[in-house]
Amino acid sequence: MKHLLLTITYDGTGFHGWQRQPGQRTVQGELERVLSILCRDEITIAGASRTDAGVHAYGQRAGFSGEFGIPVEKIAYAANRLMDKDVRILEVVEVSEEFHPRFDAKGKTYLYKIRNCQEPDVMLRNFHYHVEKPLDISAMQEAATYLVGEQDFRSFLAAGGKEPETTIRRITRAECYLEDADIVFEVTGSGFLYNMVRIITGTLVEIGLGKRAPAEMKTIIESRDRRRAGHTAPPQGLYLKEVYYEGELADEN
Amino acid sequence: MKHLLLTITYDGTGFHGWQRQPGQRTVQGELERVLSILCRDEITIAGASRTDAGVHAYGQRAGFSGEFGIPVEKIAYAANRLMDKDVRILEVVEVSEEFHPRFDAKGKTYLYKIRNCQEPDVMLRNFHYHVEKPLDISAMQEAATYLVGEQDFRSFLAAGGKEPETTIRRITRAECYLEDADIVFEVTGSGFLYNMVRIITGTLVEIGLGKRAPAEMKTIIESRDRRRAGHTAPPQGLYLKEVYYEGELADEN
């Protein structure tokens, strides 16, 4: 029995999110379909993160176990040839039996891309959040600093979402920077609540537009009240950049 | 009776090209559908260029005539609200009765985007030609200079394509430049043969890979033989950037 860890990239546009659902095209479903063919066995994979419909990934991780004939180093190439071009396995490594891609994750990094210019770009409509009015990036960056630390992030938990055991998470990095015509919000943390990055981004956009002061981010966190935070930014701008484990720490963390 | 000229941008991924075809989603078909609703009349539009399936446009042009109640300045906004987000009317202007968007075009500019790096990017798979091996951009630029001028470009006419009246065209600008991780080939001319830009690009790629010398571009043109030129680059990298008319000359031309 072998235990494998996959690194996967996908364009979320054509998927109903990560999680397998009968009758829907999902990333998990597509990978399981192809790996089951290759391994001649019914393969079930466990993803590190359940990304929503429309959300993209540069470095999703998923694990699976099985007895199979094909050599480990051939799996990515063979699987990629059987899949549509909107999902690609980038790497396959062997891990120990005890390893679990979700429970053993030490943290994740997400990017959120905001196109901040007047002209819409139809080519990129599925890959960013288009904000026409000018955003004050330094105000957004100031607001982002309040996110860092171990805090209760209940204010950014989607209303009506299922209640997690705890809403305390540790954010180790939160930065807004300019990349070409895009403002990118990059955030690394021990874990994220459902819709947390999109609600934080919506709040940052309202701060960037001057509708709220940067320091309001602090009072929003302290309020532990979803109604105090901003709108939920659309899924098209969100990217799961990286999931990291013990010994492969994201950036400086 | 009013005569209008539209400027249009579209992501060609989800279209079977520009030209109306029964039972297929095309850009012309989609625009005619929406304009017919708005104008309460059966609208037929004439495009400046018949882009192929998968080819994109930043500045396609198309004209139509009709008697209709809606003010000209409202047409773009109203039409855009009725269409999917992969096509947008950017501008609508009134023109004279004699004006024809195709026959009056003085020239066109196309871009061809080549992603030249090892890592594929699933997000951008429909928006460039991915070439993994390093391309020599200065060799490509040198080869491009041989394209400029009034010449017979029969070597770049798709084999089996319909025979045009003449294969002589005037290229006023042909340049390769670097833009982020992309090599962009930008070409402006009085007109282009069917698949001409894609065949030129395929030839430039072979030159960039060192398979052919830059000066071979000159002998390929002179041969007037499609078999001497390179492969046809895929449609996903091609963009109709601009169609220009008398008095709105592209760049320095």
Residue A230 belongs to some domain of the structure: yes
User: What was the pLDDT predicted at B84?
Assistant: 92
Structure tokens at A63: 């694990």
Q: Summarize the confidence of residues A214-235 as an average pLDDT.
A: 97
Q: Which contiguous run of DSSP H or E holds residue B88? A: strand B87-94
Integer CA distances (angstroms), B194 to B101, B153, B221, B243, in order:
18, 11, 16, 16
What CATH number should be reported for the domain holding residue B33? Answer: 3.30.70.580
- Do B134 and B84 belong to one domain? no
- Are residues A35 and A143 located together in one domain of the fold? no
Do A51 and A139 reside in the same domain of the chain?
no
Q: Which of B11, B41, B52, B104 is catalytic?
A: B52
- Asked if A122 lies within 8 A of B180 by C-beta distance, the reply is no
> Which residue from A minimizes the CA distance to B55?
A123
In a domain, B196, yes or no: yes
Final residue in a domain of this structure, among A35, A59, A94? A94
B169 assigned to some structural domain: yes
Q: Does residue B165 share a domain with residue B129?
A: yes
Q: For residue A180, which residues of chain B lie inside 8 Å, CB to CB?
A: 180
A252: confidence class by pLDDT, cuts 50, 70, 90: very low
Assess if residue A163 is contained within a domain: yes
User: Cα–Cα distance between A216 and B226 in angstroms, integer?
Assistant: 65
Residue A13: phi and psi, rounded to 5, are -55, -45
pLDDT given for residue A250 in this prediction: 52
Residues A125 and A232 in one domain: yes
Candidates B241, B248, B117, B132; CA nearest to B185 is: B241
B146 alpha carbon, distance to own chain's centre = 21
Instruction: Note whether residue A177 is domain-resident.
Output: yes
Domain match, A83 and A120 both: no
pLDDT of residue B253: 41
Does residue A249 sit within a domain?
no
Same-domain status, A129 and A12 = no
Subunit contact B88:A11, Cβ cutoff 8 A: no
Is B85 within 8 Å of A9 when comparing Cβ atoms? no
Average pLDDT, integer, range A108-134: 94
Q: Does residue B161 share a domain with residue B44?
A: no
pLDDT digit string, tens, across residues A27-86: 999 999 999 999 888 999 999 999 999 999 999 999 999 877 788 999 999 999 999 999
What percentage of chain B has pLDDT greater than the value 90? 86
Shortest distance, CA B126 to any CA of chain A (angstroms) = 9
Residues of A with catalytic annotation? Answer: 52
Residue A132: domain span: 107-244
Q: How far is A149 from chain B (nearest CA, A)?
A: 32
Query: Residues A119, A200: one domain?
Result: yes
- Find out whether B189 and B171 touch, Cβ atoms under 8 Å: yes
Structural domains in chain A (count) = 2
Mutate to test the interface with A, among B58, B122, B127, B132 (most CBs of A within 10 A): B122
- Residue-level pLDDT at A237: 98
CB B123 to CB A122 under 8 A? no
For tokens 């670097």, the residue is B178
Average confidence score pLDDT of chain A? 94
Of B50, B65, B94, the one marking the end of a domain is B94
Instruction: Please report, in tens digits, the pLDDT of each residue of chain B (253 residues total).
Output: 899 999 999 999 999 999 999 999 999 999 999 999 998 889 999 999 999 999 999 999 999 998 777 889 999 999 999 999 999 999 999 999 999 999 999 999 999 999 998 888 999 999 999 999 999 999 999 999 999 999 999 999 998 767 899 999 999 999 999 998 899 999 999 999 999 999 999 999 999 999 999 999 999 999 999 999 999 999 999 999 999 998 775 554 4
**Could you give the CA distance from residue A13 to residue B95 in angstroms, rounded to a whole number?**
39
Q: Which residue from B62, B64, B156, B147 is spatially nearest to B105, judged by alpha carbons?
A: B62
- Give A-chain residues touching B122 at CB under 8 angstroms: 9-11, 85-88
Residues B86 and B205 in one domain: no
- Number of neighbours of residue A82 by Cβ within 10 angstroms: 12
Taking any CB pair shorter than 8 Å as contact, residues of chain A touching chain B are 9-11, 56, 85-88, 120, 122-123, 125, 127, 180
Whether residue A47 is contained in a domain is answered as yes
CATH number at residue A206: 3.30.70.660
Residue B100 in any domain: the answer is: no
Residues B135 and B86 in one domain: no
ipTM of the complex in this document: 0.83
Q: Do A76 and A125 fall into the same domain?
A: no
Res A27: pLDDT: 98
Judging contacts by C-beta atoms under 8 Å, the chain B residues touching residue A127 are 123
Among B26, B61, B94, the domain-final residue is: B94
